[in-house]
Structure formats: C-alpha cells, structure tokens
Amino acid sequence: MNKKIFLVFTIVMVTISGICIYAIVSNANKKLPELPKIQTKIPDKDPVEQTITPKPTLTPKDNNDKSRNSAENTRKALTNNQKYYTEITGAGDKNILLIGKDPTYSNYDTMIIVSISEEKNLVKLIDIPRDIYIDYSTDILKELKERSPHFYSEKGSRKINAAHALGRKLNYSPDNARFPGKPGINLLTDLIREIFAVEIDDYIAIETDGFREIVDFFGGVVIDVPIYMHYEDPTQDLYIHLEPGIQRLDGKSAEGFVRFRQGYTRDGKYITWSRTDNTFLFIKSFFEQHVNIKNLNKIGKVYEIVKSNTETSVQNIGQTYEYAKLAKKILDDDYSIEHINIKTSGKKTFNGALYELLKTEE
C-alpha cells in the first residue's frame, strides 16, 4: 500500500487558501487582522450517544423542494434498510467529504466527513471506517453480478471503501445526481445519505504526494513527541524512527508521526497508539506556528501544491469564495474541533475478507 496521509491536514491548506481569497475579494488594500488560534478539543474516544432516530433516506440538495421530495419517493434503495443507530450531524450543517486516494489499489484509503455547524461554532471530523460491510440490496447485487461478475466476487467488494468502484461498474447515475458525471462519488455519497442520514454538499479527493512537500515548504513543525516511535514497512515505503521530546519534524518525519499507530519499544515490546491523538497534536501545532499574517505571502505555492494533489466538486470562484468566508468565520469565531468515531458492533468474514459491522438501529 502507498503511504497514507491523514486528510485533516488538507483542511489546514484549504483554510489558508480561503483566508487569502477572502482578503483579496473583500478588499485588496486592507490587511487581515491576526488570526486567532483554533483550540482543538479532543473528546472521549466514544461520542456521546443520542437517542434521536435517524432521518429516512434523504435526496441530493436542490433548491426546489418539490423536486427533492419527488426524487426521495422514487429513489431505489441501495441497501437492505441499513441505518446507523444515531444521528451524527445536525440540520443545516455543511458537510464535506474528504477522500484519501490510494494510487496503488482501487479502494479509497481514508474517508472523513467534515461537518461544520455555524449554529454551534463546531467542526466535526467524522471518521468512516474503511472496512464497514455494506448490506447492498438484492437489486444492486443482481445488477452488479450481471454487469461485472468478477467484481461481484472480488475480495472486499462489499466494503464501503470499494463503493466508488462499484458505482463505476454500475455506471450509477440516479435522477438529480449531486455530482454529474461521477458515478463512483454519487454511489458513495448516496450510501452515506441512506445509511448515516448525512447529505454531502461537496467532496475533496486527495492524492498523498503533497504532504511532505507542504511541511518542508513551511520549514517543518515543532512537536513534543510523546513516546519512542519505531516502525518499518518497506511495502509502504514507511520508516518511522522518532525519539521522544520536543523537536522540529520535517515532512518525512511529520508523515511518520501522524501515521504511527503501532510499533516497538526500545526493548522490542509491541505497542499500539492512538493515531487520532497524534494527528490532532500535529494540526494544532501547525496552526499555531504557521497560520498567521506573515505566511500569507506563501499562499501561491501552497495553492499550487494543494491543487496538484486534489480533485474537488468546488469548481468556480463563487463556490470558492463562499468556502473562503466560511473558513474565515471558523477562525474568527474560534470554532471547536471535535473528532467522532463511527461505532461498530463486531466483525464478520465474507468471501475471504474481514469486515466491520456497523452499529445499526435497534
């Protein structure tokens, strides 16, 4: 597997770009006030359970309510009524799907929903486990078997991180598709709508190659590494060797830091570690050290790096400007950042692949 970038880092890059665009469009002759630090809040590992029943299957957002309701009534179910046990976003939240592409394999490496609540001054980072078993409907499986019998029987084809590939095999194109010409993205986002009752407004699909380049461009990040980190995986070109203590990490070392989740102590004892904690520490450190007025003149290069490594549904200056305003509001109003883990209820093996079973309605 190729190296894996933790997608939250891209929020930093998009936010910096957004601040710059906002400043230029609003008033090119005025300086932005110094940006406040974002206070990252790491809650308990398990999110607070809610008792609200998830909404029924939603349809792509549309300015015409009648059209949306009509599409909702006629849309074919993708699963056998597979529903997550609780709501994870609120009405009116802006939801962006971040996707980490794996250039070596067809499946997506990482999927994170960034849910922004202006009402609560809150950004939720919702991790979707890549190995979730999708209980596809009989109609979907029948059509898949007819169109692509090889993929139908392929190991891991029922995982959510393979949904985009399944969508392409089916040439999935529902009425009022949210993302025209993107059958894979449409199937994945429609599954998220049906299972989690989350409407995806836009998506960003990210290649992994820009992470080291951006960190090195900013001169590294000073981080207090909490433990001795030692791990090697030549198949991923991943070599992590970090001593504990305060130090400046370059791009290669920073990538190892955010990816570290298992390894060995000095005496050879195997340990596991929270990758989430490392990532939040990195994001917080990067914001505090580099998101400031003096670095706005670097935006051109940052934009080039991000653009060359991303695919997104945000295509025009109007959409970009709206996100720029939202990015500035997140900084100005000191939004909290909360990480949410999707709950599972066990594992199963199917066709030689190990799956995680989603915790569903009781």
- Beta-carbon contacts of 12 under 8 Å, excluding residues fewer than 6 positions away, are 283, 286, 287, 291
Domain chopping of the chain, boundaries:
1-32+219-303, 36-207+309-358
Whole-structure pTM value: 0.68
DSSP 316: S
Say how far residue 118 (Cα) sits from the centre of its chain.
19
What is the residue type of 197? A
CATH architecture, range 36-207+309-358 = 2-Layer Sandwich (3.30)
Beta bridge partners of 242: 229
In angstroms, the Cα distances linking 71 to 96, 131, 198, 202 are 22, 30, 16, 19
Looking at the predicted structure, is the pLDDT value of residue 2 above 50? Answer: no
Burial 7-19 (b: 16+ CB within 10 A, else e): bbbbbbbbbbbbb
In this structure, are residues 330 and 21 in contact, taking their beta carbons and an 8 Å threshold?
Answer: no
| The length of the chain, given as a count of residues | 362
- Cα–Cα distance measured from residue 114 to residue 122, given in angstroms and rounded to the nearest whole number: 10
Summarised one tens digit per residue, pLDDT across range 37-90 is 434 333 343 433 333 333 333 334 444 444 444 444 456 899 999 999 999 999
Provide the pLDDT for residue 115.
Answer: 92
DSSP conformation letters of 89-110:
S-TT-EEEEEEEE-SSSSSEEE
Kindly report the number of other CB atoms within 10 A of residue 265's CB atom.
Answer: 12
The overall average pLDDT reported for the chain is 76
Provide the pLDDT for residue 190.
Answer: 97
Provide the pLDDT for residue 293.
Answer: 59
**3-state SS, one letter per residue, for 121-180:** CEEEEEECCCCEECCECHHHHHHHHHHCHHHHHCCCCCEHHHHHHHHHHHCCCCCCCCCC
- Cα–Cα distance measured from residue 210 to residue 3, given in angstroms and rounded to the nearest whole number: 11
